[in-house]
Amino acid sequence: MNNLILKNKLRSGDVCLGSWITLGHSGIAEIMCNAGFDWLVVDLEHTTISIDQAGELIRTIDLAGCAPLVRLTSNNSDQIKRVMDAGAHGIVVPMVNSVEDVKNAIASTRYAPDGTRGVGLARAQGYGPKFSEYLRWQKDSAVVIPQIEHKNALDCLEDILSVSGVDGFIIGPYDLSCSMGIQGSLSTLNSKKQ
């Protein structure tokens, strides 16, 4: 399974380069994969990409040898299940504000007894024949990246990032600045951080 490559790079601290897909055309995804990115995020939160288009983009990115990740519309276990079943190697979770938020997201990528995700037989599981292989993979290889984009998350940031199963994080500077009352003032955000 080439879906171990990104997780292994993250674990070893290697530099991983990626980009964002905001248009639902598989040709764009294929071009970006051929540019040499390690990962591409299919953005469902701030685009008009449908779940059908996301499935096609995930397939295209995966077959091109790049790791497909999906930024969710919200921390929704049903949506997580669907994109993981479509073959996503992991998720980017918006508006994570607590340890409980990130634990729920991680649990939604894993089957019981390690998580809460329902079992389906779709592309990720080879439509059935690769279920045993996928069962082993999903235990600790799904990538989970919380987005820190509200001032409430800052109060427990260290705890959020120390949860087992967190592979990295993304700062959402505009949402974070808005929650801090300094809408879009990123230089002010930087000085408040110090």
| 12 torsion bin: left (phi>0), alpha (psi -120 to 50), beta (else) | alpha
**Active-site entry in 25, 46, 89, 150:** 46
Q: What share of the chain is helix, strand, coil (3-state, %, to 5)?
A: 45, 15, 40
Eight-state DSSP code of residue 49: -
Alpha-carbon span 70 to 90, nearest angstrom: 7
125 sits in which H/E element: none
Active site residue 46: yes
List CB contacts of 47: < 8 A, sequence separation 6 or more: 22, 23, 24
Active site amino acids: 46
